[in-house]
Each structure stands twice: as C-alpha cells, then as structure tokens.
C-alpha cells in the first residue's frame, strides 16, 4: 500500500536538514577550537614520535658555537674556554621541573644534580640520552622515557639547563 505524499515525508526532510545543520555547526566549532589551540611543530613531532633531522645550518651553528637562539655558551670556572650546550635553558628548566624535580629537587629522594659542581655540571645529550631512554643508571620508575614522552630536543634543553645551573 502506498502512502500519500504529504506532511509526513516533508517532516522527515526537515529533520534531515536540522541534523545536517547541527552536524555542520559541530564541525565548525571543532575546526575553530582546533585552530585556536594549534600545537607547535615540536609538539606535533613529539606526539608522532618523529625526531627531526638537523638542517645544515643547525649543524654549522652547533659546530661554530653560534647556534641562533638555541645555543647557550657558558664559561666554566678557571678561565677555560666556553662550553657550548645545545638546547634552550628556559625550556630545559620547564622540562626539568616537569620530569625531574620530583626526585632531583630539594626534597626529592634522588641526588641533587643542580648544585654547583654536581653531576649536572657534566650533563650533555650524550650522557642524558641513555639515562633517560634506556634507564641506565637511573631509577625505574620514572624512566625509561619514550621519545613521545621526552623528545631529543627536550633532552638537549634539560642538559643545557643543568649545565647552566650546576656551573653557577
């Protein structure tokens, strides 16, 4: 039996239009919210577990000790030439406070690595990477840490921060 075309079928079309309109509105809100809270390239790389390959300019800057914006030159005691620690000290302090200060802070159970002359004065990417990635010589928990948890650039930042603190 066929139904007459009338209000019933048109009411169904209105419902479909309303649902489609609601869907478009939700999609627009999500798009706007996403655009407002954009992640940095470093955050995206960290989330995806990508380690960017350094550019030729970054390698040259590191070799010459004039890394733009990211290098930190420090003079060690005794008038020795400056030691270049690649990494951002400010970001390193933030990362240290997030990941390390619970144990290596003033009231923490781990060794003090921020005091002048402590093990932190020798921190480098080469010494921190196996410690954080594989847990060699480090308590578990908290590590080992995956690249999606602490990126290689964050390790460099932590090393720069520790060297700056422990060298003071």
Q: Mean per-residue pLDDT for 86-94?
A: 88
pLDDT of res. 79:
46
Whole-prediction pTM? 0.50
Q: Mean per-residue pLDDT for 91-120?
A: 86
Residue 60 scores a pLDDT above 80: no
pLDDT of res. 154:
92
Higher pLDDT, 30 or 10: 30
Q: Mean per-residue pLDDT for 101-106?
A: 84
Residue 89 scores a pLDDT above 80: yes
CB within 8 A of 96, min separation 6: which ones? 104, 158, 161, 162
Which two structure tokens, joined as six digits, stand for 13?
């079309």
Mean pLDDT over the full length of the chain = 73
Nearest to 151 by CA among 67, 82, 52: 52
């Amino acid at each position: 039996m066929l139904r007459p075309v009338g209000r019933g079928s048109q009411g169904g079309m209105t419902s479909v239009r309303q649902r489609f309109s609601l869907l478009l509105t939700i999609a627009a809100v999500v798009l706007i919210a996403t655009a407002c809270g954009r992640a940095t390239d470093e955050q995206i790389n960290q989330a995806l577990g990508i380690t960017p390959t350094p550019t030729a300019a970054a390698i040259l800057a590191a070799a010459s000790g004039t890394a733009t914006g990211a290098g930190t030159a420090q003079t060690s005691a005794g008038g020795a030439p400056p030691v270049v620690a690649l990494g951002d000290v400010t970001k390193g302090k933030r990362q240290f406070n997030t990941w390390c200060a619970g144990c290596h802070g003033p009231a923490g159970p781990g060794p003090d690595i921020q005091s002048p002359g402590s093990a932190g004065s020798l921190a480098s990417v080469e010494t921190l990477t196996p410690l954080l990635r594989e847990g060699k010589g480090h308590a578990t928990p908290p590590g080992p840490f995956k690249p999606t948890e602490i990126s290689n650039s964050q390790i460099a930042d932590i090393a720069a921060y520790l060297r700056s603190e422990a060298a003071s």
